[in-house]
Every structure is written in C-alpha cells, then in structure tokens.
Structure 1
Amino acid sequence: MSRLRHTVTVVALDRDLLHTYAGLVCDLVESTRARGRDIVLPDGRALYGLSLVKGHHLAPGARYEPLGTDTEGLEATVIREWRRTGALAMEQLMWSPDLSTQLDVRLRTPERPVSLEIEGLLRGPEGSGSLRRLSGLATLDLAAWWAAAALVPGAPAVARAPAVARLKHRLGVAQLHLRPRPAEAGRWHVDVTLTLRGRWLLRPVAAFALLLAGMPLRRGFRSSVERAAEQWDEALGRVRAMDLDELRAELADYVVKGPEDETGEGRKTG
C-alpha cells in the first residue's frame, strides 16, 4: 500500500454565500422551459447543446441528449428527481463501441446543499471482462465539512474525512480523502490523502511498482493538488468579484453559448 499526503491552503467558501449561489442556480434552472425539443430561458434564448427527447422538462423521467448528435444514444442525461428543497437526482449515460460510462448524481438539497454523492461505472465492450471495468463512489458531507473547518486552530484534524472518493478495479483500489482545518481568516487548510493498494494476489506486485514510481508519483500528486487549489482560488475569486446580477447574467450567457473553444470564443449555436 502507498499513501500520499499533501496540504494546501485555499480561500474558504462561506456557507451563506454557497446557499446564495445555489439559490441563484436553482432560480435559473427553474426559469427555463421546453419549446419543442429546445430548452429556453425566459428571454427566448435556447440552451447550448441540449435537447429534450423524452418526458416533461425537469420532471422525473425527462431525458436530454446533445443537439446535433448523429449516433443515437451516444450521450444522455435522465432526471430522476428535481425538488429544490428536497433532492436533485440524475443519471448521466455515455457510450461508444469501446467504452460506456454511467454516473448517478444525488444532491441534497439543491437550494441549500447538504450532501453530494456521485456513483460511477465504466465498462469496456460486452464480453471484454473485468479488466475493462472500473467503479467509483464520491461523497461530500457538507455539514461535516463546515464543522471540521470551524474547529479551534491547532486542534487535530477530524478522523472521518468529509469528502471521500474511491475507485475500484480488479487490480487495485484508490481512495482520496479531504479534511479541512481552519487557517487564517477567510482561508482553509485542506489535508489531501491518496491511498493506493493492489488487490488480492497482486498486492506485492502493486507495492513494488509503487515503490519504483515513488518520487515521480509523489511529485505529480503534490503538483496536481496545488494546481487544483490554484484553480479553486481563481474560480472563487472570479465569482466573488461579481454582484448577483452580474453573476446571473454570466450564468445565463454560459448556458446559451456553451464552454469556450480554443480561441476563447463561445461555441456557436447555429
């Protein structure tokens, strides 16, 4: 077994501010409506790359697929539940001749987030065997996160990590744990731990491979954690720099234009 650890310091996200942002997103989602297969904002602009192909918009069973997809069923999103004061549950499906993935997402409660769970399964083509199969589960307990982040400075980190991700394959298991601690005003220390181990008879082989890759693996792990922390600070800084009206307009433009392409311009919807 190999265990990698690294601690970063990031800008803290206030719980009330998170609830404000979450409510804004819920308002935007619930302001949309179906127009034929298009999903449109109140001003009539259609959301980028989204088509309602089955059911009623935002109702259980509603199925969405990307616009302009030639191969039927290449990608789909199915709503299982949508209640802004209850839960959001959705299923994301993607498949190709070589690979298929399924993600089940559940958020309680969308308007005032309490917990998030994402369960996934990745499989190769039928008959490819268990070596082409990978499963995963990620959970975030926000109540536990806020409690850990509010501990007295210098107190030991919580034993149970509020954020956990686990990937399981026939050859091995990887687990990621995140534990916050208070830092200076407005910031968190986040302890990140990655555990890697082989399974069954492959444990000695995996241990030897991890030993050989030790230093590069640790450098890569630290670099990835620090890069993720920088991206978090940058994204949160951009959001905080906008007032709610600006943020609302920014979100509306994003869902209409789609992600930026390599030139920095929004995707074309025509």
Structure 2
Amino acid sequence: MARFQHTVTLAPVPRRWFESCVATLHDLAEDTDAEGARLRLPDGRPLPGLVLAQGRHLRPGARYRPVDEESGKPDADQYVTVLAWDRRRETVLEVVTVDGAADHPARLDCALTLTSAERPREVSLSATLTPSEREKYLGGTGRVHLDLGRWWQATGDGRHPSRAPLSGTLTHALARVGVTVVPRPAPDGRWLVTVKIRVGGRSFARPLLPLAAALLGRRARRACAESLDRAAAAWNAKVPALVRKDRERLRAELTDALLGA
C-alpha cells in the first residue's frame, strides 16, 4: 500500500456562516414556485435552464431536468430527483447523467445527503460510474463523508477527533484509494488541514503496486502536494471575502447566478 500525507493552511469558515448558507439555499428553493413545468423565483421571474419534469415541487419523487439550449426541450440524458426534503431530518438529492451511444451508454449516479438543514450535522456524497461495455475498466464508486460536529470540534478547541471528520474512498476494479482529512487551529486563527491518502492495488494490479510506487512514488507525491497547494491557494483567495457577506447578500448573489444560467 502506498501512503501520502500533506498539510495546507486554509482560511477558516465560521460555523454560523456555514449554517446560514445552508438555510439560505433551502429558503430559496422553498420560496421558488412551480407553475406546471416552469419554475419561478420568489420575485416572480422565471428560472431559466431548469424545468420540473415530474412530481410536485420539492416533494419526494420530484424530478427536474435542464433545458437543452439548442432545442429548448428538457434534456433526456440528465435529471435531478428529490429523494427527501425535510429541514429537520435530511435532504437527499440524486443526480443522474447518461452519456454515450444509445446502445452502450455510460451512466453516472450521484447522491448528496445532508442531515438536518436546521442544524447541519453530516454531509455525504456518493457516486457510481457505470461505463459502457467497451470501457468496463473505467467504472468505479466513490464516497465522501463529512462529520460537521467533529470538524467544528477539531477547528474550535483543537481536540483530536476519534475519527477523521472528513473521509472518502474511491474503489476501482484495479485500485482502492482512501482519503482522510483532519483540521486543527493554527496560531493565527486559520486552519491547518492534514490530508492523508492511501492507495492499494486490487485484482491482478495488487502485486504491481509496490513496483509502481518505487518507480513513480516521488513524482506522484510531488504532484499531489502541488495540487493540494493550488487548491488551498484558490480557497484562500476566495473564502475570506465570501464569509464577510451576510445572508441577504448571499441570497441576492445566488439569485443573480441562477438567472444568469
């Protein structure tokens, strides 16, 4: 098994601000009305680029489709389905994309789950890529889970959580990748975030992993470190200004972004 570890410094996100963002997203969705297939924002303006194709707005089973820019018709190859919408319990959305030839399509299924919009506790994202028969080795599954309670605890008083607040796995026919992310407060108030990655081979690739690690390990570690540093730089360039915006400003900017779509 190959291992990698790297630490970056990130601008912090206040807990109250994050929870306010979650509430704002739910408020905007719930204040949007549906007139048949058409969706209207709270101020009455039509929401472009998305239609309600099935079910009742925000009820379990409601299905939304993007609108094809060329034909103006709903895209048959993409849709979002509401599996659950309960602010006190959980919000679950499923996103499906089908691509490729009609007789051998590839399909990507994603599910986003939020436990309690009123008091966010957990967020998870799962994805399954089912490739066409011609590209069967491109398929795999992935899952990311964020325990917000453990995250706020670790970034608040610095206590080491019993489990990593953020973890993920990526499983492929030939490899399995595990990722854990643990934050702690820096002396200047920012976050020191340590990312650990473990890569293990599967099937006939298992005995090849030590050889690949010996030949490419240093280059791969450097590439991972550089990617994380770039991501941290992008985060630090945008987040400080973002967290200074209040709830009303965020809602107004989100509405403008939806209209721009």
Determine the structure 1 residue equivalent to 2:259: 256
> Which residue type is aligned with residue 122 of structure 1?
L
Deviations 1:57-97 (A, max 9, x none): 10000000111276853101000111122210111100112
Does the CA contact (< 8 Å) of 1:76 and 1:93 recur in 2? yes
The answer to whether the 8 A contact 1:8-1:226 is kept is: yes
Question: Could you tell me how far 1:117 is from its partner in structure 2?
Answer: 1.2
- Matched with 1:64 is 64
- 1:105 matched to which residue of 2? 112
Contact 2:17 2:243 in 1 (8 A): no
Q: Give the superposition deviation at 1:200.
A: 3.8
Distance 1:83 1:242, change over 3 A: same
Query: TM-score, normalised to structure 1's length?
Result: 0.87
2:33 — aligned with what?
33
Change in Cα spacing, 1:210 to 1:99, as seen in structure 2 (3 Å) is farther
The verdict on how the C-alpha distance between 1:90 and 1:169 changes in structure 2, with shifts beyond 3 A counting, is same
Contact 1:10 1:188 in 2 (8 A): yes
Amino acid at match of 2:131: G
Q: What are the ranges of 5 or more consecutive residues in structure 2 without an aligned counterpart?
A: none
Q: Which residue of 1 aligns with 2:47?
A: 47
Query: Residue type of the partner of 2:200?
Result: R
- Mean CA deviation greater in 200-209 or 214-223: 200-209
SS at match of 2:76: coil
Stretch deviating more after TM superposition (116-125 or 201-210): 201-210
1:173-192 matched pairs, under 5 angstroms? 173-192=176-195
* Residue from 80, 84, 87 that aligns with 2:87: 84
**How many residues are aligned here?**
254
Distance in 1 (alpha carbons) for counterparts of 2:86 and 2:176: 35
| 2:169 partner letter | R
Match of 1:145 in 2: 151
Q: CA deviation at 1:128?
A: 4.5
> C-alpha offsets along residues 121-143 of structure 1, whole Å, 9 cap, x if unaligned?
10112x44852320111101001
Gaps of 5+ in 1: 259-270
Measure how far apart 1:246 and its partner are.
2.1
- The residue that corresponds to 2:223 in the other structure is 220
The one-letter code of the counterpart of 2:148 is L
TM superposition outliers: structure 1 runs of 4+ over 4 Å: 69-72
Task: Give the % identical residues.
Answer: 32
TM-score by length of 2: 0.90
